[in-house]
Amino acid sequence: MNCEIAWAAGLFEGEGSFDHSAGNAHRPRATMSLTDQDVLERFMRAVGVGTIGPSKRRASHHKEAWQWWTNEAEFHVVYALLKPWLGPRRTQAAEAAIKARADHISKSTELRQCVCCGEEFAPPSFTKGSWKQNRCAKRACQLFRQSAPRRCDVIRGIAQPTTF
């Protein structure tokens, strides 16, 4: 095994983190912040993936800091590469991030009940916003807004249409 990878794993064990972004469809990510940009660049060369950028200063007296981060695909590369040297806490954090993403995908693609006609439907695809889609593909259901439940009750036959 490569000494540079072992060094990178030790640095990550002390300074890095695995987590998932709830605001980004629970995609897993790896991040690390340091005040030494050259150390982050060496780390990035060792693992072969990621992006480095400046980190926002929390206070004016703090030193300039740099952050390294991954996207979802790069997360899996880094985790597979460093896993043999990681301690149980980092391993558990990575596994929790992977599970959160899998749970999100499962929830996003399961059958749902249309709020308008009551029929079960599957979202058309796993795309941005599909997790909150609550109407089937019928044209009538797509035209009704969620803020007008009386119209849906009319379609279901629960309520009578009102005339104005």
Write out the residue limits of the CATH 3.10.28.10 domain(s) in the chain: 3-109
The helix/strand/coil state of 41 is helix
CA–CA separation, 81 vs 76, rounded Å?
8
CATH 3.40.30.10 fits domain 3-109: no
| Coarse DSSP helix, strand, coil percentages of the chain, rounded to the nearest 5 percent | 50, 15, 35
Q: What residues are paired with 30 via a beta bridge?
A: 18
What is the pLDDT at residue 42? 97
Indicate the residue type of 76. Answer: H
What DSSP element (H or E) covers 79? helix 72-82
**Which structure tokens are listed for 127?**
């795309």
Query: What pLDDT is recorded for position 164?
Result: 41
CA-based angle 57:62:64, to the nearest 5?
60
Over residues 73-105, the pLDDT tens digits come to: 999 999 999 999 999 999 999 999 999 999 888
The whole-number pLDDT of residue 156 equals: 58
β-pairing, 27-34 with 51-55?
Answer: unpaired
**Helices 88-109 and 72-82, packing angle to 10 deg:** 150
pTM, rounded to two decimals: 0.72
CA–CA separation, 116 and 118 (whole Å): 6
Point out the least confidently predicted range of 11-25, 29-43, 118-132.
Answer: 118-132
Tell me which H or E stretch contains 28. strand 27-34
DSSP secondary structure code for residue 160 in this structure:
P
Query: Which pLDDT score is estimated for 107?
Result: 80
Instruction: Tell me what percent of the residues of the chain surpass a pLDDT of 90.
Output: 52
